[in-house]
Amino acid sequence: MSTILTYALHYQGEFNKNSLGAVSEGAKLAKELGGEAAAVVVGEGDDLTDELCASLGGYGATKVYRAKAPEGLAQPVVDVMAKVIQDNGYKYALFGGGLLGFEIGAGLTARLGAGVTMEVTAVKAQDGKLVAERPILQDSAIVDVGYVGEPGIIIGRLNAFDAVESGEGAAEVVDVDVQLEEHSTRATMVQRGEQRGADVNIEDADILVAGGRGLGNAEGFELCEQLAEALGGAVAATRAVVDAGWYPYAAQIGQTGKTVAPKLYLAAGISGAIQHKVGMQSAENIVAINKDPNAPIFEFSDLGVVGDLNKIIPKLTDAVKAKRS
Amino acid sequence: MKICVLVKEVPDAAVEKRMDPDSKRLDRSGEKNLNPFDTHAIEAAMQIREGGAVEVDEIVAVTMGPESAFRALHKAVSLGADRSVHLTDEALAGSDVCATGYALGRVLESESPDLVLLGQQSDDGECYTIGAVVADHLKMPSLTQVIKIDVVEGRLRCERQAEYGYDTVDVELPAVISVGDAINEPRYPSLKAIMGAKKKPLDTKSSGDVGIETDRVGAQGSRTEVLSLNPPPAKEAGEIIEDEDTNETVERIVSWMEERKLLA
């Protein structure tokens, strides 16, 4: 039985980790509901080989629908998924975290008059239906959301679903031909995946000193760099400061950046918005320095320091240097 | 060119937000304000107007919300909108994302904009998706989380961060663009603009005025339902140091790190 449809984002011949998580989660939930999970792949390049598509079987998808349409944009995928859902009667569409999943899920909501829940951290099967768990109000409460009618759209939070190799065989690959809506052809990718700024490897660092808006300006990162050097670690940044041009994208943590789990994560001038939290909450030790005692980051830091980072960090840098020398 | 900016009234940032345990909806009593993310969308509209690459005839702030939401529209007008539209109707209360997107689609259609701008998220609902929902109803191309907009030969050249780095996308008009908060630094309204905002035209519309089928909105038109409201899993609160004597603060941080063998 066609139960859950997921979208598998790919780039340069590789599937996105969050998409593989969604495929795994979809397969697990479909089994609990007594059905099957399938995936949709959309692209124009020759990297979408039979072999690559069928490999989603290894994460539990029984079928993969492949459509030729522009890559990296949401609306063509909405057209494809809407058709596959309507033709085959899928009851749920499931997305891993990430920009495109949000946009595609939202588009399907409008197209199919379907209920949607986003930022979902867990999904459970109850009485033959799916219920989505969603944290709200800066994670101060969690709501259980059910769906009225079909299909239901579930958009996961980044890294909510783990990619699990189920050891099952290849998925059946089905080519689908979809006539795109006129409006879906009116956005054109000019350049995709541009890397800006120097290459920084923050994923392997044991210690990260991360800077946010509270640093005040780009020069504020010098404080982070000096402390990181004293600690033997690397420097990371929030999306806000990367977008403001204070620090390179390669160092960005969070929803649209990297996910890290270092031994020590020292957050300087970072408020701790959800989009940032999802990228660093697995750190073993979280230290936060912020002058705002109400900053959300203090709710999930192990050591919170309320104070002026311009006063604290230089002295901390000297003290760390003295200890480690 | 006519730009509509979607705005929302949200509980003020200083107000502790809570859920009403009976209705399982956000308790919206208390001080309210214009959603801070929306100010970036208004600023983006102003910069397109001032950029001169295209003639902007009108910037219209549009909201859907209870009676009190006119104040958010006044604020939007003080930031640069020429007039505003307030969709308000008892029938709309309790609308979920699906129903809200449909209703906003209808009110926007009645304005026939060339460009719809909105903020990346609301400060309260945090759903990030309304732009893409509205775009599908309006059958317009759409992007969310845009951090740069240039008008080039009647099209929008947009930049944003996506899964694999920065994407540059050309979008034909009419279009729906949701902007990230890094796109600009919103200006402060002048005292004159604040005072003048109440005098600018404000149209109040009901569901019927814009052809909304009332069985598609409100709680009964919603496709999701909140089954239960639960506390988050308990996390042990961390230690907090208030920095009074910085030398002492630093000593405490260092010994905390040493205990955890982080200074090896």
* CA of A283 vs chain B CAs: smallest distance (Å): 13
For A281, phi and psi rounded to 5 degrees?
Answer: -65, -15
Question: What type of residue is A37?
Answer: A
Q: Which residue has the tokens 């919603």?
A: B222
Contacts of A135 in chain B (CB under 8 A): 232
Residue A300: per-residue pLDDT: 92
| pLDDT < 50 regions, chain B | none
Domain-embedded: residue B246: no
Is the whole model's pTM more than 0.90, yes or no?
no
Q: How far is the CA of A154 from the CAs of A106, A127, A145, A183, in angstroms?
A: 10, 18, 10, 24
Mutate to test the interface with B, among A78, A102, A103 (most CBs of B within 10 A): A103
CB atoms closer than 10 angstroms to residue B131: 29
Contacts of A145 in chain B (CB under 8 A): 224-227
Q: Count structural domains, chain B.
A: 1
Which residue type does A84 have? V
B235 in a domain, yes or no?
no
Provide the pLDDT for residue B92. Answer: 97
What CA–CA distance (Å, rounded) separates A178 from A79? 7
**Helix, strand, or coil here: B227?**
strand
Query: Is B243 contained in some domain?
Result: no
- CA B220 to CA B233: how far, in whole Å? 31
Candidates B223, B32, B175, B13; CA nearest to A75 is B175
ipTM over 0.85: yes
Least CB–CB distance from A107: residue in B127, B132, B223: B132
Coil/strand/helix, residue A69: coil
Asked if A29 and A131 touch (Cβ cutoff 8 Å), the reply is: no
The CA R_g of chain A, rounded to the nearest whole Å, is 22
DSSP label at B53?
S
Q: For chain B, how are helix, strand and coil distributed in percent, rounded to 5?
A: 30, 30, 40
Q: Find chain B residues with C-beta within 8 A of A143's C-beta.
A: 19, 24, 226-230
Structure tokens belonging to residue B184? 């600009």
**Helix (H) and strand (E) counts in chain B:** 7, 15
Domain annotation covers residue B82: yes
User: What token pair was written down for B50?
Assistant: 């001032």
- Cβ–Cβ of B162/A193 closer than 8 Å? yes
Positions in chain A whose pLDDT score sits under 50 = none
B247 in a structural domain:
no
Give ∠ CA A46-A78-B180 in degrees, rounded to 5. Answer: 100
Residue A90 vs residues A36, A77, A84, A107, B187: alpha-carbon distances, Å: 9, 16, 8, 16, 47
Parallel, antiparallel or unpaired: strands B142-152 and B115-119: unpaired
CA distance A299 to chain B (A): 7
DSSP annotation of A253 reads B
Closest-CA distance, B20 to chain A, in angstroms, reads: 12
Instruction: Domain of residue B181: give its range.
Output: 2-221
Residue A113: burial class (beta carbons within 10 Å; 0-12, 13-18, 19+): middle
Q: Which two tokens stand for residue A43?
A: 């692209």
Which of A180, A243, A246, A294 would you mutate first to test chain B, the one with the most B CBs within 10 A?
A243
Per domain, the residue ranges of chain A are: 2-185, 207-324
In angstroms, what CA-CA distances link B233 with A276, A309, B236? Answer: 19, 30, 10
The per-residue pLDDT for range A127-166, each reduced to its tens digit, is: 999 999 998 877 778 999 999 999 999 999 887 898 999 8
**Is the CB of A106 less than 8 angstroms away from the CB of B253?**
no
Supply the CATH number for residue B9's domain.
3.40.50.620
Q: Which residue of B has its CA nearest to A119?
A: B127
Pair B142, A129: CB distance under 8 Å: no
b/e per residue A202-233 (b: at least 16 CB within 10 A): beebebbbbbbebbeeeebbebbebbbebbeb
CA dihedral B70, B71, B77, B81 (to 10 degrees): -40
With respect to residue B22, please indicate whether it lies within any of the assigned structural domains: yes
Pairwise CB contact (< 8 Å): A144 & B238: no
Determine the pLDDT at residue A278.
Answer: 84
Shortest CB distance from A143 goes to which of B97, B127, B229?
A: B229
Q: What is the DSSP track for A108-119?
A: HHHHHT-EEEEE
Per-residue pLDDT, A199: 56
Q: Which fold has domain A2-185?
A: Rossmann fold (3.40.50)
For an interface test with B, the pick among A99, A104, A109, A111 (most B C-beta atoms closer than 10 Å) comes out as A109
Assigned CATH class of A207-324: alpha beta
